[in-house]
Amino acid sequence: MLNDVQIRDLTAIVGENGIRVDDDARTQYGRDWTRVHEPAPSAVVLPGSVEQVQAVVRWAAQEGVALVPSGGRSGLSAGAVAANGEVVVALDRLNWITDFDATDRTVRCGAGVVTEQLQAFAQGQGLAYPVDFASSGSSQVGGNIATNAGGIKVIRYGMTREWVAGLKVVTGTGELLDLNRGLVKNNAGYDLRHLMIGSEGTLGIIVEATMRLDAAPPPCAVMVLGTPDMAAIMRVLDAFRDRVCLEAFEFFSEEALAKVVAHHDLARPFTTATPFYALLEFACPDDDAEAAAMGCFEHCVENGWVHDGVMSQSLAQAQSLWRLREDVSETISRWTPYKNDISTVVSRVPALLDEVEQVVNANYPDFEIIWFGHIGDGNVHLNILKPDDMSMDEFQARCGDVTPGVFEVVARHGGSISAEHGVGLLKKPYLSYSRSEAEIALMAQIKRVFDPAGIMNPGKMLDA
């Protein structure tokens, strides 16, 4: 814990209203959506400017105090957990949106801007910020960039990385880097901007970003289709991708759907129950696009890939259909699921899922398994639900025993152990399934360059 002198020093930097040491604040800011590690930060600081962030980092480097950057804390890998007396640097007050440029379609954002705020700002300019996920109402731009967040429309718009035109980052020495400055073409040396994206606060604290915006999307429609197996879902993807402009292509299992409709005021999309469901959002600006989608649906039914389906006829119905997929995470959170966020190239997804399911069923015969994910970009989420009568320690131990077997399958398929959730504390022991020894060694060397005192989110991603 910090001593009185250290608390006074921090208070002098961020002001009386910029520091919290009470138990409620330390618990709130010391955790993310994971519940594996108990939060135990020594203090929470909420700097109100970039200069204050720099001063906090310089102080921490001098004092040897570890820092944990904190955004919306919606992460799922314990990357924002402060469990060992660290000082949490919460970026909520860095929430400005400024310098919008209609020609370049860019805008500067403080790291604390909530994703939904950026989306609303873009909409107000007749544009769009297209990166979207269930946590858009709480996640922050800085955290999205630090984890290279993906979400539900990667198939159309890519990851957060694609939309970052420039970054300002405070390194572990307190130095401020101004990276790329919004340029489209810039081959003058290494692009350190992309090194910072996805670094999970281990190299520096992202304090500001220049974000690219896009043209407003056309009117869209949503379909939910019931399929007999994962192979059929991939054939549906191929068929629709050739005939319509897909904005999103998601999937979820019957077990996931049953949980959602049982715990929310939502109806099944149709009476037929199928093992898996595909949710498609596609551009539907005119009757021709709708006719193409319906023709594709009929083609899929004729080939046995789809057993039933529904297409939205209004915005309200489209939103209700989306909830069947987007409400899965929130619904199953009461069972404190053990999450695996895995990926491979799209063509290998059915084989990956089939092999992983064999491992899971052989080892978890008494556990409930929930599948869902962003099938259109090769990312599936395996969720193992904790039985109510089992302790968290036992549950984590049992899941941990089988995780290497799951990741061995992922490695055989050339995939990733963390498609979009990051590494944090939870995936760190398994990093070698996705990265070679040489890569991990280079990553550790890079961290020491940017963070020589080892104070930036230590213990996350790497042991170094």
3-state secondary structure 47-71: CCCHHHHHHHHHHHHHHCCCEEEEC
Query: What are the Cα distances from residue 319, in Å, to 37, 224, 268, 325, 328?
Result: 35, 12, 14, 10, 14
Residues with Cβ within 8 Å of 450's Cβ and at least 6 positions away in sequence, in order, are 171, 172, 203, 204, 456
Residues of CATH 3.30.43.10 domain(s) within the chain? 4-92
Question: How many Cβ atoms sit within 10 Å of the Cβ of residue 319?
Answer: 12
Which CATH code is given to the segment(s) 220-328?
Answer: 3.30.70.2190
pLDDT (tens digit per residue) in 268-325: 999 999 999 999 999 999 999 999 999 999 999 999 999 999 999 999 999 999 999 9
The first and second tokens of residue 31, run together, are 């955790």
Alpha helices per DSSP H over 270-337:
287-302, 315-326, 328-332
Give dist(CA 171, CA 452) in Å, integer: 10
DSSP H or E run through 396: helix 392-412
* pLDDT in the model for residue 33: 86
Give dist(CA 254, CA 232) in Å, integer: 15
Residues with Cβ within 8 Å of 429's Cβ and at least 6 positions away in sequence, in order, are none
* pLDDT in the model for residue 202: 98
3 state SS of 435: coil
Residues of CATH 3.30.70.2190 domain(s) within the chain? 220-328
Q: Which residues pair with 302 in a beta bridge?
A: none
Cβ atoms of residues 200 and 423 within 8 Å: yes
The dihedral through the CA atoms of 238, 245, 144, 179 has a sign that is positive
Give dist(CA 202, CA 419) in Å, integer: 18
User: pLDDT above 70 covers what percent of the chain?
Assistant: 100
Residues with Cβ within 8 Å of 144's Cβ and at least 6 positions away in sequence, in order, are 71, 115, 131, 160
Residues with Cβ within 8 Å of 377's Cβ and at least 6 positions away in sequence, in order, are 150, 154, 155, 343, 346
Residues with Cβ within 8 Å of 362's Cβ and at least 6 positions away in sequence, in order, are none
Mean pLDDT of the 39-66 span:
98
* pLDDT in the model for residue 264: 92
* pLDDT in the model for residue 34: 86
CA angle 409, 415, 416 (to 5 degrees): 105
The first and second tokens of residue 333, run together, are 């959170």
Residues with Cβ within 8 Å of 159's Cβ and at least 6 positions away in sequence, in order, are 131, 148, 149, 150, 420
Q: What is the mean pLDDT of the chain?
A: 95
97-215 architecture in CATH? Answer: 2-Layer Sandwich (3.30)
**Residue 380 banded pLDDT, cuts 50, 70, 90:** very high
Mean pLDDT of the 246-255 span:
96
Which CATH code is given to the segment(s) 4-92?
Answer: 3.30.43.10
Give dist(CA 266, CA 324) in Å, integer: 8
Cβ atoms of residues 9 and 2 within 8 Å: no
Mean pLDDT of the 366-395 span:
92
CATH ID of 336-438, from 3.40.190.10, 3.90.1330.10, 3.40.50.10680, 3.30.70.2740: 3.30.70.2740
| 454 has a pLDDT exceeding 70 | yes
Residues with Cβ within 8 Å of 75's Cβ and at least 6 positions away in sequence, in order, are 32, 33, 34, 143, 147, 421, 422, 424
3 state SS of 311: strand
The first and second tokens of residue 155, run together, are 């198939």
Q: Which of 150-154, 199-203, 429-433 has the lowest mean pLDDT?
A: 150-154
Side chain identity at residue 110, one-letter code: G
Among 143, 199, 198, 193, smallest CA distance to 166 is for: 193
| 464 has a pLDDT exceeding 70 | no
Report DSSP state, residue 416: B
Mean pLDDT of the 399-416 span:
95
Mean pLDDT of the 150-157 span:
93
| 214 has a pLDDT exceeding 90 | yes
Cα 275 from chain centroid (whole Å): 26
Cβ atoms of residues 211 and 106 within 8 Å: yes
Residues of CATH 3.30.465.10 domain(s) within the chain? 97-215
| 1 has a pLDDT exceeding 90 | no
